[in-house]
Amino acid sequence: MMEMGFYHPARGYWQTMSAPTEEILATYPEGTVEVPLKPGTGFTWSGEAWEPEPPDPEALALEARARRDALLTACDWTQVPDAPVDRAAWAAYRQALRDVPEQPGFPAEIAWPEPPAA
């Protein structure tokens, strides 16, 4: 069995599980071309090759905020009155995490703050 991929500008991409017969090929719309198999979701046919689609800024922002929230949750304990750490240093780190969405270049470029030394 040999999978084959096809692309048409108006109809998009499809693939077959085997080489289509001449009769079936004749039913494909004019302008259909055989292309390499699509490497996965998130790729667009450029006319010459599959190109990765640019990342979705909203998805990147959601992912970055989820990471930031997880980092904040992981160090919540540092702010209790009897925590055996430099609470001020940890508070500054936590504020830097909260400020991540305000960085220039967010969400594509993020300079993640480093936690204080233990």
pLDDT in tens, 27-36: 999 999 999 9
Distance CA 72, CA 97 (A): 7
What ranges do the domains of the chain cover?
4-52, 57-102
Residue 5 · residue 36 · CB < 8 Å: yes
> So what's the pLDDT on residue 2?
77
Residue 45 · residue 6 · CB < 8 Å: no
**Tokens representing residue 8 in the block:** 């048409």
Q: How confident is the model at residue 1 (pLDDT cuts 50, 70, 90)?
A: low
Residue with tokens 């009897």: 82
The model carries a pTM of 0.61
pLDDT in tens, 33-52: 999 999 998 899 999 999 99
